[in-house]
Structure 1
Amino acid sequence: MKTASVLAVCRVHQLLADPGSVGVTAIDKRAVDGPVRVHKLGLHGDIQASRIHHGGEHQALYAYSQDDADYWTAELGRELPPGIFGENLRITGIDASEAVIGERWKLGLDVEVEVTSPRVPCATFQRRMGEPHWVQRFTEAGKVGTYLRVVRTGSIEAGNHIHRIFVPAHGVTIAKWFSDPTLEDMEALRDADADGEIRLQPEYHERFEKLQRRLGV
């Protein structure tokens, strides 16, 4: 089994002008050298231009797997360096999209994070990638990566090992919930949340209601 590790730690390089509602975007993330402090709301020195749609406790960090990046490299025919997806962490040895909602990782010596929710692609992301129909393609592929909550702060850097220290029994993955959520998935997540096994962010309960309406329950 391949050792799981952090390939790159990425934070905002510069704010870019963007025609969206905020006028700028912080999606231009690039790899940095050396250790970076991790706070409850993300990496030291990183920002989110739109706090309505990004950031906060439940989306403090965004992780994307090298295997998924390699898939897109083959699809797009160009190199996709760490940070190009707006990710804070480019990782290997763990499939971020197939992580179980609520599972916890230890990064390096002291940082602990919890898998929270899938990344939902937006028009800003499409403009960043410069690819026609990118939102649709990214959505259909289901290789969305995962947002992370910071459970324990500390410092991280490229080369740090990642250890899975807890995987919930409900089994609902980030990719499954993003691409093909079912009522069974919803009930499993609800039960795990009610039992204290995981802590769902408020947006999940809104999604539960939408799923029930869509399925006529």
Structure 2
Amino acid sequence: MIDLYYWTTPNGHKITLFLEEAGLPYRVIPVNIAKNEQFAPAFLEIAPNNRIPAIVDQAPADAGEPLSLFESGAILQYLAEKTGRFLPADLRGRQETLQWLYWQMGGLGPMAGQNHHFNRAAPEKLPYAIKRYVDETVRLYGVLNKRLADRPFVAGSEYSIADMAIYPWIARHPWQSLNLDDFAHVRRWFDTIAERDATRRAYAVAERINPTPP
């Protein structure tokens, strides 16, 4: 059993996407970030950076004590290694997948997140900040669009944790002042993943807990 400390953000969706795809049993423990529940001492014992998601694996492969993990990319990699799924075993396929996972963690996520903040949440509209982060999000979509021009998924022919990491941020494109139709290959990839049964189930979890935009 996996205990998933979760809220309905792109980073939270990454983990439900994996768990639904892999069919792993899990229990959702909501952490309402709008109510600052991420600062609760019990949660900080699991996620010292006070960010969701986090997991506790009650049955790790070493048969030891329950294992806690924070940081969505680390969680995806751990779950892929635990199950032997969605991360290629061969050297080149593995590195191809991991570099795009880290591209999301280090680039698309932070830049799109700042885009969301200055476009939607900032108390003052700052044209310089909005332009900076919209422009950088556009650039990153262009990188992804080029990548997907000759392959069905980000790391090649198979769906992987790289796709799971990236998809929830692309799902928020209406928040980013972007039109997905301007990126034809991203649009095709996005629609393919949106139609997966596990994707529908993962987003249904979010809808039950906290109905939100995508």
TM-score, L = length of structure 1? 0.23
Greater share of strand residues, 1 or 2?
1
TM-score, L = length of structure 2? 0.24
